[in-house]
Amino acid sequence: MAVVHEIQSFFAWMGWYVLPFIVLLSAIVFFHELGHYLVARWCGVKIEAFSLGFGPELFARVDKRGTRWRIAALPLGGYVKFLGDAGVASAEDDAAVATLSEDDRRRTLGGQPLWARALIVAAGPAANLLLALVIFAGMYISEGKIAHAPVIGLVEPGSVADKAGFRVGDVIKTIDGEAIESFEQLHQMVLISTGLRLDFLILRNGAPMTLEAAPELQLVDQGPLGKRRMAHLGVGPTKDPADVRHLYCGAPTCVIWAAEEIGFVAEATGSYVFALFAGRESVDQLSGSLEVARIAGEIAKISPIDLFNLAGLFSVSVGLMNLLPIPLLDGGHLMFYALEALARRPLNRRAKEIALRIGIAIVAFLVIFTTTHDLWRLLTLGN
């Protein structure tokens, strides 16, 4: 009976954690690679393979254009392989290209003008951001959003806000000169502050006054998302129903709200990276595939709708990560193209090969580090 119980537990774990993660990641990777594929086809580049996953092939089909559509055994990414590529990183195979006819060389990625190559590479991250825009806009259209008035209904005793002089009933008008229209906006401003001092303009009993506070970085339990270090001010919204609005939107407004959501995620990511190099943040906030799988499983247990929201957030993260100027990633290729445009000539091939190896080492280190940290979280129940 113990063996049967263990088997049942294994399949339950697969169903709640592995499958949601694979579906989530595969969808995001598919749209990323589809961006590369569609723009490459529009530019006249021949695509030899479109792969979801790496490693041994599980299923494949060759279409009438000669593109091999494949599903591989390791669902941790994907790639589009162009004519003349040496591998999955879009590095050109000089020997293979040398054997091609002049017409076929023009159908390789390297045979495209600089602007076309940049457009093809940028199309992957752009597709991720577009996917997130559609997901967020769709959720706003179906559910709208809740907006609390920027009125303080709670001040935690001994918190940063308490020490700074905030009081229940204070109305937040601006933070660092930016107008505040809802408590949710206040919360976002605090989050991206990463512990830096903020200047608040408030109304107290109708009279304006200014306060200063540096939100404190604390370990906060976010339920399914686990424990995260977050900037914490120590205030809460009012519970007066008159201060709560349920907002709905037409399609154009919902798209604007979705774009603002993407902008916030991008700004929060940039703030974290900047704070990391400034020494105010810790690398232990980085997560890998194991942690994402855990989060996806926990959210799938709560609501499939919330899983869509996670897909949007994850899609933005994948798009932004791929824009990092690291050789091997799309941002690394765009960096090479920018240098090529400035130099007005192709870059030294040997230098590009060395940079690519460095990029592979950096990405491999990040994968090993985040996976090790994810395992440590799971083993120590730190999530």
> Is 366 within 8 Å of 273 (Cβ atoms)?
no
Cα dihedral 189, 192, 196, 202 in deg (nearest 10): 0
Residue 33: active-site member: yes
Query: In angstroms, rounded to a whole number, what is the distance separating the alpha carbons of residues 118 and 338?
Result: 9
DSSP run (H or E) holding 57? strand 47-62
Amino acid letter, 242: A
DSSP conformation letters of 89-119: T--B-HHHHHTS-HHHHTTSSTTS-HHHHHH
Q: Based on the number of CB atoms within 10 Å of its own CB, is 86 exposed (0-12), middle (13-18) or buried (19 or more)?
A: middle
> Is 332 within 8 Å of 355 (Cβ atoms)?
yes
> Is 40 within 8 Å of 26 (Cβ atoms)?
no
Locus of tokens 């008008």: 173
The residues that bridge with 69 in the sheet, in sequence order, are 50, 61
Amino acid letter, 367: V
Locus of tokens 């395992």: 375
Q: Which of 33, 261, 281, 298 is catalytic?
A: 33
Query: In angstroms, rounded to a whole number, what is the distance separating the alpha carbons of residues 180 and 171?
Result: 10
Locus of tokens 């995001």: 28
Token readout for 85 is 């590529």
Amino acid letter, 210: T
Token readout for 101 is 């006819």
Return the active site residues: 33
